[in-house]
A and B are shown apart, each in its own frame.
Chain A
Amino acid sequence: MRFRDYLSLFLVIILGFIIFQAFDGTIDNGLNIKQFGEVNLSERTSIHYINKDVNNESTQIIYNESKNPESGSANYVTSIIANYRALDTLGEITVLFIAAAGLAFVLGDHNKNNAFASDASFIVKIGVKILFPLLFLLGIYIIIHGHLTPGGGFQGGAVIATAILLKFLAYKDYKLNHTGLTILESFAGISFLIIGLIGLYTDGSFLTNFLANGTIGTLFSAGVIPIIYILIGIKVGAELSGIISNLINA
């Protein structure tokens, strides 16, 4: 073994020691992580969320009238996904990114041709020509209205990737621009992190909703939630399209 290997082994042991110290409840290390079963639940954040009223008062929230409620998103699944548990969503899109990257490492060879020997028939080509812009528009609609109606970034991104799949099915020479996809993905991921850091700077917690919420139920409402969902939509659409392209060209 070379010196570098000894060094990395040493670093791993040090890191393991620190992690063990941090999660050992018997030592008071200032991190306040206790052993299983000895935790006082009222000190955890979740209990605050379970027992609270919106805005600490019991006003009724009226669609299209109430201004600046706590989350501002009419679809409260979205307010959980893109606001309260946005860090979790960041992890999810990272999982998707790693899956796409692994597939690209194994199968990614953009010089190969499609798996199909010939173009699809005339009818399919014309149908795809009509359907492609409609499906793209539907995907964008689902993404933009994620904070108002069911749907959102993940679903709309999947619809956009389906439109790309139709193009692949119809034309055997269809190629995606992988450089453009990479740029879109990186832009969306970095913007997501930057929005989180702006929230950390202004309001003191990562990925908090730092914009005004507006009237609930309108298109321009819910502060940072639609922006985050649009970024998620761009990222998911680009990644799923890349996965489809890599699988078909494999």
Chain B
Amino acid sequence: MILLTTLGYIMIILGSLFLLLGALGIVRMPDLYNRIQAGTKATTLGALSSIIGVGLVNPNWFFKTLIIAIFIVLTNPIGSHSIARSSYKSGLKPELQSEIDEYKPENIQDERSDLR
């Protein structure tokens, strides 16, 4: 039991660290497409490990925290995908111009319109 509690606290601290890094990234990154990396990837991992850590510290809540974690895993990436896609479609250009743009219509080989 003491092992579970220690593991839980370590996960909470790790999650808080990731959340801090995500917040720093939102301040430091130059444009939306970079910020969305910090705002989604870092916070997904941070929130996940904090919540699972709480579930490990207090095992009665484990399944409830698991349900919250499943909802975060399902919703957070979809939300960030929607934001990034709509800003690309509305013509927002990245701050640093790069050569690679795989989402250009002429670069998509697959003809299924679903993927566009």
B50 to chain A, nearest CB (A): 21
In chain A between 148 and 199, which residues have their CB closer than 8 angstroms to a CB of chain B?
none
Q: Are B71 and A134 in contact (CB under 8 A)?
A: yes
In chain B between 60 and 84, which residues have their CB closer than 8 angstroms to a CB of chain A?
71, 74-75, 78, 81-82
Q: Are A124 and B81 in contact (CB under 8 A)?
A: yes
Q: Are A122 and B71 in contact (CB under 8 A)?
A: no
Q: Are B74 and A121 in contact (CB under 8 A)?
A: no
CB of A7 closer than 8 Å to a CB of B: no
Q: Which residue of B lies closest to A131 (CB)?
A: B74
CB of B114 closer than 8 Å to a CB of A: yes
How many of A's residues come within 8 Å of B, CB to CB?
10
For the side of the interface on B, what is the size category?
Answer: 10 to 19
Q: Are B81 and A121 in contact (CB under 8 A)?
A: yes
CB of B28 closer than 8 Å to a CB of A: no
Q: Are B78 and A124 in contact (CB under 8 A)?
A: yes
CB of B85 closer than 8 Å to a CB of A: yes
Q: Are A131 and B75 in contact (CB under 8 A)?
A: yes
Residues of chain B lying within 8 A (CB to CB) of residue A120: 82
A114 to B58, CA, bound (A): 46
Residues of chain A lying within 8 A (CB to CB) of residue B82: 120-121, 124
Digitize B76-110: 1 where CB-to-A-CB distance is under 8 Å, 0 elsewhere: 00100110010000000000000000000000000
Residues of chain B lying within 8 A (CB to CB) of residue A123: 78, 81
CB-contact partner of A127 in B78, B85, B116, under 8 A: B78
A124 to B71, CA, bound (A): 14
Q: Would you give 9 A-B contacts (Cβ < 8 Å), ordered by A?
A: A121-B81, A121-B114, A121-B115, A121-B116, A122-B115, A124-B82, A127-B75, A130-B74, A134-B74
The 9 closest A-B pairs by CB, nearest first: A127-B78, A122-B114, A123-B81, A122-B115, A131-B74, A121-B85, A124-B82, A124-B78, A123-B78
**Residues in A lying within 8 Å of B, measured CB to CB:** 120-125, 127, 130-131, 134
